[in-house]
């Protein structure tokens, strides 16, 4: 179907819905295009509603569809203090990934983009926004007619292309000076850009713009118009252009799909940076464990140098110290948490990101009231929370302290088992207060949600509270389950000792684990997570020396066994078997084994896993899997990295041990696996 006013015709403007496309300086020819996917995006924007986008993204398995249509793209600017009294300029608006949130926040939005087709996509998807004008054409031509009183000017993934916009000896400085001339006094410029020294590039991700490995680290030896910068270089350019007031933020994992925003006033804490396998656009190598390296970087105070992305604010700076987005889940639960500081006072605000999430915040405030009543005479404190912002936000008391998770880690990694158990006993004693009579339970009393300051323990998050009575054993199991799941180094924990203290059977542990899977699906609204979408897109994570990443289909069907002798799992301490079932000899000293039955989406039926002739239990804290249990010892995997982890704590250890694995594997296509594995 031919769409009206195709590229090549000349016209001063076009109206799509309530959006105006200013074509007065458009040359009539688009100088860049991503090919047929832009035609697909145009049809989606024109013919489908925004409410349909999540389903389209999940079913497409397409990086461009995800990149251009995902609502998570808005996170990078959603937190900015823009209001209806402000006028905003968005340069390089493209297909409108962030135009929508700007139109909802600002009084007026002017967009600039070189591509007419992309501008039409933008206009169709936001056609009800009467405050949006899209100026189509080369920036140097459009710029002459732009206003000079913008409150915010946004360069999101744009500044690195300045050499292609500006023909001068100093393109980045001249570009920034030109942009600054359109800013009103007291206004701000926001620049989101990759860090050329980002840790993901050292770890094996290709450079985002060129698709080549290590090119930004080597300072772009092959040339080209794209340049990214370190924080020092970026701030240096800004200061040379006269921007003395500025503030640096650190979007994580990067600015494209940001979940957390850090600043120098609130840097990441050790253990927080866990979302590192987010290669959506192309294959990547995995040269080391990024989480562990990030922890070392944080110890040395060097996070600013290795953050994957930057968000630099020039001019008037926000009061924001930190933001965490929880919008990769059902809209009824979509919120963000923000920490601000003004005049030396810190505030914690939770905001609803969807009108349907307001009721969730109201329940949060009620949870505070009920939990405070339950624990009022105990050694567990609930931090205060009150509704604010006309019912659209919740203000929570800011408290200082060390997380219980961090303190447990210190004891665990110092091999202080006695100290770990003492602290865990204290945890169980505190959370069990009132369990015999209270009909209210915070089921998310995990270790990271408790801050310790002296003898005062404060619960800082009680979002998931139910009007039921849970035992300390149930809560403790979930806390330990989440604790171990988040870091393989915690496999050294003596699970049998902990299970004994919780006084739960293997059958109960299996039931609790299945309850947890149902809970997580309820939170996400049965939508695929970003990690699941990444798996569907299908770009590989290639581990050097791991033959399962070869293009040979037969190798991907070979089972792989990982051995942990106290240092965690690694490719160096693993081996492949030719087929299933198999019997292997395992040396002494192994604490945990992981069995990856193949490297495909699949269903696995386990006939039995035997250690020195003894059948191992596929239940309890000593057994973990990333699959969904769909029958007796049968699991569906909506991932091409299926696996089972089993603790050997309660099993005999000989000079040579025999591992026997009996299982069958049925390979599935990604779509079928995704449906079954939900």
- Which domains are delineated in the chain? 13-195+227-272+310-320 (3.40.50.150), 336-396 (no CATH), 402-524 (1.10.510), 543-676 (no CATH)
Q: Does 49 have pLDDT greater than 90?
A: yes
Q: Average pLDDT, stretch 390-412?
A: 92
pTM, rounded to two decimals = 0.80
pLDDT at 90: 98
Q: Average pLDDT, stretch 385-398?
A: 90
**Segment (H or E) for 520:** helix 506-524
Q: Does 5 have pLDDT greater than 50?
A: no
Q: What is the DSSP letter of 205?
A: P
Percent of the chain with pLDDT over 70: 94
Lowest-confidence region among 78-92, 231-245, 306-320, 507-521: 507-521
Q: Are 169 and 148 in contact (CB under 8 A)?
A: no
Q: Does 180 have pLDDT greater than 90?
A: yes
pLDDT at 2: 37
203's tokens: 């770890």
Q: Are 531 and 523 in contact (CB under 8 A)?
A: no
Q: Does 160 have pLDDT greater than 90?
A: yes
pLDDT at 8: 41
Spatial CA neighbour of 286 closest among 641, 634, 591? 641
Query: What is the C-alpha separation between 470 and 467, in angstroms, rounded?
Result: 9
Percent of the chain with pLDDT over 90: 63
Residue 418, classified by CB atoms within 10 Å of its CB into exposed (0-12), middle (13-18) or buried (19+), is exposed
pLDDT at 3: 41
**Segment (H or E) for 341:** strand 335-342
Give pLDDT tens digits for 548-561.
Answer: 443 333 456 789 99
Q: Average pLDDT, stretch 367-379?
A: 95
Rounded alpha-carbon distances, angstroms, from residue 472 to 10, 161, 205, 426, 446? 72, 56, 43, 11, 12
The residue ranking higher by pLDDT, 173 or 330, is 173
Question: Under 8 Å CB-to-CB from 484, ≥6 apart: which residues?
Answer: 490, 491, 493, 495, 621, 624
pLDDT at 526: 65
Residue 495, classified by CB atoms within 10 Å of its CB into exposed (0-12), middle (13-18) or buried (19+), is buried
Q: Are 318 and 190 in contact (CB under 8 A)?
A: no
The neighbour count for residue 166, using CB atoms within 10 Å, is 19
Phi then psi dihedrals of residue 8, to 5 deg: 120, -25
Q: Are 621 and 481 in contact (CB under 8 A)?
A: yes
Query: What is the C-alpha separation between 609 and 648, in angstroms, rounded?
Result: 12
**Segment (H or E) for 260:** strand 260-263
Spatial CA neighbour of 254 closest among 228, 233, 292, 283? 228
Torsion-angle region of 252 (φ positive above 0: left; ψ -120 to 50: alpha; else: beta)? beta
Out of 88-92, 407-411, 641-645, 653-657, the most confident range is 88-92
pLDDT at 203: 95
Give pLDDT tens digits for 597-640.
Answer: 988 888 898 999 999 999 998 877 778 888 888 777 888 888 87
Q: Does 255 have pLDDT greater than 80?
A: yes
Give pLDDT tens digits for 220-251.
Answer: 998 888 999 999 999 999 999 999 999 999 99
Peptide bond into 306 cis (omega under 30): no
Lowest-confidence region among 133-142, 527-536, 591-600, 649-658: 527-536
């Amino acid at each position: 179907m031919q769409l009206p006013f195709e590229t090549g015709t000349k016209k001063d403007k076009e109206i799509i819905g309530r959006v105006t496309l200013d074509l007065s300086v458009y040359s009539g020819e688009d100088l860049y295009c991503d090919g047929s996917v832009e035609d697909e995006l145009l049809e989606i924007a024109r013919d489908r509603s925004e409410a349909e986008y999540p389903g389209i993204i999940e079913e497409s398995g397409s990086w461009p569809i995800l990149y251009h249509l995902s609502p998570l793209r808005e996170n990078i600017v959603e937190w900015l203090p823009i209001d209806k009294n402000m006028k905003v300029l968005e340069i390089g608006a493209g297909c409108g990934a962030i135009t929508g949130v700007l139109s909802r926040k600002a009084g007026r939005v002017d967009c600039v983009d070189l591509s007419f087709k992309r501008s039409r996509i933008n206009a169709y998807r936001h056609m009800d926004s009467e405050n949006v004008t899209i100026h189509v054409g080369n920036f140097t031509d459009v710029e002459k007619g732009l206003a000079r009183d913008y409150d915010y000017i946004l360069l999101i993934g744009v500044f690195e292309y300045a050499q292609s916009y500006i023909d001068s000896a100093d393109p980045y400085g001249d570009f920034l000076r030109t942009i600054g001339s359109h800013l009103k006094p007291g206004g701000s410029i926001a620049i989101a850009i990759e860090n050329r020294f980002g840790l993901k590039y050292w770890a094996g991700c290709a450079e985002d713009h060129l698709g080549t490995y290590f090119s930004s680290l080597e300072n772009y030896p092959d040339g080209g118009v794209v340049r990214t910068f370190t924080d020092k270089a970026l701030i240096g350019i800004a200061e040379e252009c006269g921007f003395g007031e500025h503030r640096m933020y650190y979007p994580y994992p990067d600015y494209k799909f940001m979940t957390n925003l850090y600043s120098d006033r609130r840097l990441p804490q050790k253990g927080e940076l866990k979302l590192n396998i987010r290669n959506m656009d192309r294959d990547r190598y995995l040269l080391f464990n990024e989480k562990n390296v990030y922890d070392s970087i944080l110890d040395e105070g060097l996070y600013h140098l290795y953050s994957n992305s930057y968000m630099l604010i020039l001019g008037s700076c926000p009061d924001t110290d930190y933001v965490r987005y929880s919008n990769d889940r059902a809209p009824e639960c979509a919120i963000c948490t923000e920490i601000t500081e003004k005049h030396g006072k810190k505030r914690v605000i939770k905001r609803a990101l969807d009108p349907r999430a307001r009721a969730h915040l109201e329940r949060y405030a009620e949870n505070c009231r009920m939990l405070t009543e339950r624990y009022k005479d105990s050694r567990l404190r609930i931090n205060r929370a009150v509704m604010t912002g006309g019912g659209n936000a919740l203000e929570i008391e800011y408290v200082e302290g060390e997380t219980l998770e961090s303190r447990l880690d210190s004891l665990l990694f110092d091999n202080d088992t006695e100290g770990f158990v003492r602290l865990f006993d204290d945890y169980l004693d505190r959370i069990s207060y009132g369990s015999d009579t209270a009909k209210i339970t915070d089921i998310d009393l995990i270790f990271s949600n408790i801050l310790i300051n002296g003898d005062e323990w404060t619960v800082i998050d009680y979002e998931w509270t139910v009007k039921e009575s849970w035992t300390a054993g149930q809560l403790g199991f979930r806390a330990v389950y989440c604790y171990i799941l988040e870091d393989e180094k915690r496999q050294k924990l003596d699970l049998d000792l902990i299970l004994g203290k919780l006084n739960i059977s293997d059958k109960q542990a299996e039931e609790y684990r299945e309850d947890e899977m149902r809970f997580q699906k309820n939170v996400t609204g049965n939508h695929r997570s970003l990690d699941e979408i990444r798996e569907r897109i299908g770009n590989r994570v290639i581990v050097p020396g791991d033959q399962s990443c070869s293009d040979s289909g037969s190798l991907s069907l070979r089972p792989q066994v990982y051995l942990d002798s106290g240092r965690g799992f690694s490719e160096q301490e693993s081996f492949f078997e030719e087929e299933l079932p198999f019997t292997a000899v395992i040396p002494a000293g192994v604490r945990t084994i992981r069995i990856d039955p193949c490297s495909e989406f699949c269903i696995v039926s386990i006939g039995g896993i035997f250690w020195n002739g003894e059948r191992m239990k596929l239940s309890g804290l000593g057994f973990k899997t990333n699959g969904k249990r769909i029958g007796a010892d049968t699991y569906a995997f909506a991932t091409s990295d299926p696996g089972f982890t089993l603790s050997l704590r309660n099993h005999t250890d000989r000079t040579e041990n025999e591992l026997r694995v009996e299982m069958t594997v049925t390979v599935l296509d990604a779509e079928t696996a995704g449906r079954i594995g939900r």
